[in-house]
A and B are shown apart, each in its own frame.
Chain A
Amino acid sequence: MMPGLSHYLLLAAGLFGIGVYGVLSRRNVIAVLMSVELMLNAVNINFIAAAKFVNHEQIVGQVFALFVIVVAAAEVAVGLALIIAMYRHKKSVNLNDFNLLKW
């Protein structure tokens, strides 16, 4: 059996779900950042799969995936920088220590 579109979508959904779970439940900022990466990659899989199965004359999906990878790299750079700044400030990477937005 050839894997069809829905298989890819299911894989992506699973990956996205794991990412969401990670973002919402992990207290370690680095783990959260990594979970965000998982979600982005789930999106990438969707793009590629759609490019292959829905519109394979053009390579729009692949281009988008490349964009996402670039943005993700930038995001990681900024994110890690922020994390370092926060760590310097609080000596911690636990998200519970960063509830400064509270009124």
Chain B
Amino acid sequence: MSLKFFLENAWLIALLPFLSFAIIGLYLHRWPKISACLSIVSIGISLVLALGTAFAVFATKEGVVYEAAMRWLDMPGLRVDMGMLLDPLAAVMLIVVTLVALLVQVYSLGYMHDDPGLASYYAYQSLFAASMLGLVLANNFGQLYIFWELVGVCSYFLIGFWFGRDSAKEAAKKAFITNRVGDFAFLLGILFLQLLFGSLNYGSLATALEGFNNSAVLLIVALLLFGGSIGKSAQFPLHVWLPDAMEGPTPVSALIHAATMVAAGVYLIARAFFIFSASPEAMLVIAVVGGFTALFAASIALVQNDIKRILAYSTLSQLGYMIMAMGTGAMSASIFHLMTHAFFKSLLFLAAGSVIHALANEQDIFKMGNLYHKMPVTAGTFIVGALALSGIPPLSGFWSKDEILAGTLSSGHIFLYVLGLLVAFMTAFYMFRLVFVVFFGSNEAQGHPHESPWIMTTPLAILAGVSVVAGFPGSPLMHYAFGHYVNSPAALHVVPGALTMIISTLLALSGIGLAWAMYQQKLLEPRLLVDKVPQFYKLLINKYYIDEIYAWIVARAVDATAAWLFWVDINIVNRLVNNIAFFTGRSGETLRYTEDGQVQSYALYMFGGIIVILAAALYLGLPG
């Protein structure tokens, strides 16, 4: 089998999960176990194909680029293709998505084993995998937008999977609508691209864009496209949906809301890097939004008590990191971090899911404790993930995080560099706060916690292994191969210096140390700290009141306007119509009295009429 085979048939990677979705939806929904197996098998084959494709792409020194497409919508003036663009960036994403999706689907067999909706769960999982892979494969913005929306709707269904809960229902709705706000901007960006450059294909656009560097239209387009990223990657101010999205089953949170879908915003910037990099102002905006989100979310994560929410805010913060890296031009570092983050964050979520599963859906970390001895595999893998996230060498997070920090430094954004270091410290702290409280804490958990079955722990172990080694392609050990392949002519590529590595490692270690001191050794009572700055604590615990502000805006501005407009419609537009009808009816009522049935009245009208006509004839002159 030649490597060409994989390139030419890469579309199967997305099609197989879609077929699995269709078959489950149409025929298999009565047989949940068969559905699950079908779904897992199809994503498994996709993984094999994705690996083959990656082999083919990385076969040469420069990396192979392969593009193919079929028409989907074609008329003079608009063409949208269903195509695939295979290059190192896409290859990396394909592996990440298929691998994590496969492991999550296997894990779900254990986690969801007694759920009555198992078949539809796997149908949605398959649809999601297909859409996400279609998004990754896309060779034009039209296709990207199509799959962008489709992953959104899968996310909607999976967040609201337990639709009997009001909270899940609300969270799903919130996620979709918030994303729609971002997509509004994204779609406008696409409209501008089509209008200005007459094409949506990446390649054609890149050619057409030459000579537009630094122009105002490009800034507008770039910012509008970034709007899509803000929504999907949950950047401030559209971040509100992601923490609520934790209402979905935990494997879903791991796959969609940590590893893959939320990273689509980052992927978008990488894909459209030729647009963004041509507009320095847009890059600055991106860097600042990303940096701010990283810090903002990390600060909220410091005080949360729900295990999944801590991880969710951590995801927000890490996504901010990636976006910030994009903004500073370190595109390769950002994608590198996207990849490593996908592995260790899905690991963390799945391990957290294992804990939640063992504790009968308990999610408050202060109601857990001392689980290390009862759930050794879960605890061990979780700690590996936490170490990777904190950036402890030689785990994967270390390499990618340092590359981002190096990028901020060499692009001259000292402020962002410091901010990045601060976030690295906070990350280490809140992750190990979680680790110490949950796995080593003195609180005794309710019930009888037990290790999860092998079907759940095996994916954990695999992900833990991947989280350890995934950083090596971007490390000096492998001559920074990652950055060599996944790159863009306009991107900045720097390798972290020793100083950055040392500083970041020290900061991470001190974060872990502080957490250990506060939550393990109780050397420093957290309460004391809270009492020092009660206002600030209140602000953090209430997530800066962003949700409340939005709720107020929706209720006051949107709903009130809606009610007022309905009043207008009924009382002005409708009343106008009704009044016209009423007037017609009333004039009929009035004139009716002239028709009294008396022959003589009719004769009188006739006579009067004749007189009028005669008078008119006399006055105006007789006709003829």
A residues at B contact (CB < 8 Å): 20, 23-25, 32, 95-96, 98-103
Determine whether the beta carbon of A102 is less than 8 Å from that of B603. Answer: no
Determine whether the beta carbon of B598 is less than 8 Å from that of A96. Answer: yes
Residues from chain A with a CB closer than 8 A to the CB of B600 are 23-25, 32, 95
Determine whether the beta carbon of A98 is less than 8 Å from that of B599. Answer: yes
Determine whether the beta carbon of A23 is less than 8 Å from that of B597. Answer: no
B residues at A contact (CB < 8 Å): 592, 595-600, 603-604, 607
- Tell me, rounded to whole Å, the shortest Cβ–Cβ distance linking B502 to chain A: 102
Residues from chain B with a CB closer than 8 A to the CB of A103 are 592, 595
Residue of A with least CB distance to B600: A24
Determine whether the beta carbon of B595 is less than 8 Å from that of A102. Answer: yes
Residues from chain B with a CB closer than 8 A to the CB of A100 are 597
Determine whether the beta carbon of B607 is less than 8 Å from that of A102. Answer: no
Residue of B with least CB distance to A27: B600
In the assembled complex, the Cα of A25 lies from the Cα of B604 at a distance in Å of 9
Selected from A20, A98, A99, the residue in CB contact (under 8 A) with B607 is A20
Residues from chain B with a CB closer than 8 A to the CB of A98 are 597, 599
* 16 A-B pairs with C-beta separation under 8 A: A20-B607, A24-B600, A24-B603, A24-B604, A24-B607, A25-B600, A32-B600, A95-B599, A96-B598, A98-B597, A98-B599, A99-B598, A100-B597, A102-B595, A103-B592, A103-B595
Assess A102 versus B597: contact at CB under 8 Å? Given A20-B607, A24-B607. Answer: yes
Determine whether the beta carbon of B598 is less than 8 Å from that of A95. Answer: yes
In the assembled complex, the Cα of A96 lies from the Cα of B592 at a distance in Å of 18
Interface of B is mostly: helix
In the assembled complex, the Cα of A95 lies from the Cα of B597 at a distance in Å of 10
In the assembled complex, the Cα of A99 lies from the Cα of B595 at a distance in Å of 10
- Tell me, rounded to whole Å, the shortest Cβ–Cβ distance linking B591 to chain A: 11
Residues from chain B with a CB closer than 8 A to the CB of A101 are 595, 597, 599
In the assembled complex, the Cα of A98 lies from the Cα of B592 at a distance in Å of 17
Residues from chain A with a CB closer than 8 A to the CB of B595 are 101-103
- Tell me, rounded to whole Å, the shortest Cβ–Cβ distance linking A35 to chain B: 10
Residues from chain A with a CB closer than 8 A to the CB of B604 are 24
9 smallest beta-carbon distances between A and B, as pairs: A102-B597, A99-B597, A101-B597, A24-B604, A24-B600, A99-B598, A23-B603, A102-B596, A24-B603
- Tell me, rounded to whole Å, the shortest Cβ–Cβ distance linking B255 to chain A: 75
Determine whether the beta carbon of B596 is less than 8 Å from that of A99. Answer: yes
In the assembled complex, the Cα of A25 lies from the Cα of B607 at a distance in Å of 13
Residues from chain A with a CB closer than 8 A to the CB of B592 are 103
Residues from chain B with a CB closer than 8 A to the CB of A24 are 600, 603-604, 607
Residue of B with least CB distance to A20: B607
In the assembled complex, the Cα of A60 lies from the Cα of B258 at a distance in Å of 111
- Tell me, rounded to whole Å, the shortest Cβ–Cβ distance linking A15 to chain B: 15
Residue of A with least CB distance to B593: A102
- Tell me, rounded to whole Å, the shortest Cβ–Cβ distance linking A8 to chain B: 20
Beyond the given A96-B598, A101-B599, could you list 10 further A-B residue pairs with CB under 8 A, ordered by the A residue number? A24-B607, A25-B600, A95-B599, A95-B600, A99-B596, A100-B597, A101-B597, A102-B597, A103-B592, A103-B595
In the assembled complex, the Cα of A57 lies from the Cα of B548 at a distance in Å of 108
**Max chain A Cβ within 10 angstroms of own Cβ: one of B592, B595, B598:** B598
- Tell me, rounded to whole Å, the shortest Cβ–Cβ distance linking B509 to chain A: 99
- Tell me, rounded to whole Å, the shortest Cβ–Cβ distance linking A47 to chain B: 19
Residues from chain B with a CB closer than 8 A to the CB of A23 are 600, 603
In the assembled complex, the Cα of A98 lies from the Cα of B598 at a distance in Å of 7
- Tell me, rounded to whole Å, the shortest Cβ–Cβ distance linking A17 to chain B: 11
In the assembled complex, the Cα of A94 lies from the Cα of B604 at a distance in Å of 17
Residue of A with least CB distance to B602: A101
In the assembled complex, the Cα of A6 lies from the Cα of B595 at a distance in Å of 38
**Max chain A Cβ within 10 angstroms of own Cβ: one of B592, B599, B604:** B599
Residue of A with least CB distance to B592: A103
- Tell me, rounded to whole Å, the shortest Cβ–Cβ distance linking A87 to chain B: 16
- Tell me, rounded to whole Å, the shortest Cβ–Cβ distance linking A13 to chain B: 12
Residue of B with least CB distance to A25: B600
Residues from chain B with a CB closer than 8 A to the CB of A25 are 600
Residue of B with least CB distance to A102: B597
In the assembled complex, the Cα of A96 lies from the Cα of B596 at a distance in Å of 10
In the assembled complex, the Cα of A23 lies from the Cα of B607 at a distance in Å of 11
Residue of B with least CB distance to A101: B597
- Tell me, rounded to whole Å, the shortest Cβ–Cβ distance linking A94 to chain B: 11
In the assembled complex, the Cα of A40 lies from the Cα of B589 at a distance in Å of 37
Residues from chain B with a CB closer than 8 A to the CB of A95 are 598-600
In the assembled complex, the Cα of A47 lies from the Cα of B25 at a distance in Å of 96
Residues from chain A with a CB closer than 8 A to the CB of B603 are 23-24
Residues from chain B with a CB closer than 8 A to the CB of A99 are 596-598
Residue of B with least CB distance to A100: B597
- Tell me, rounded to whole Å, the shortest Cβ–Cβ distance linking B520 to chain A: 96
Residues from chain A with a CB closer than 8 A to the CB of B596 are 99, 102
**Max chain B Cβ within 10 angstroms of own Cβ: one of A32, A98, A99:** A99
- Tell me, rounded to whole Å, the shortest Cβ–Cβ distance linking B586 to chain A: 16
- Tell me, rounded to whole Å, the shortest Cβ–Cβ distance linking B607 to chain A: 6
In the assembled complex, the Cα of A95 lies from the Cα of B592 at a distance in Å of 20
Residues from chain A with a CB closer than 8 A to the CB of B597 are 98-102
Residue of B with least CB distance to A32: B600
- Tell me, rounded to whole Å, the shortest Cβ–Cβ distance linking B613 to chain A: 15
**Max chain B Cβ within 10 angstroms of own Cβ: one of A25, A32, A100, A101:** A101
- Tell me, rounded to whole Å, the shortest Cβ–Cβ distance linking B592 to chain A: 6
In the assembled complex, the Cα of A93 lies from the Cα of B550 at a distance in Å of 83
In the assembled complex, the Cα of A103 lies from the Cα of B594 at a distance in Å of 11
- Tell me, rounded to whole Å, the shortest Cβ–Cβ distance linking B608 to chain A: 10
- Tell me, rounded to whole Å, the shortest Cβ–Cβ distance linking A16 to chain B: 11
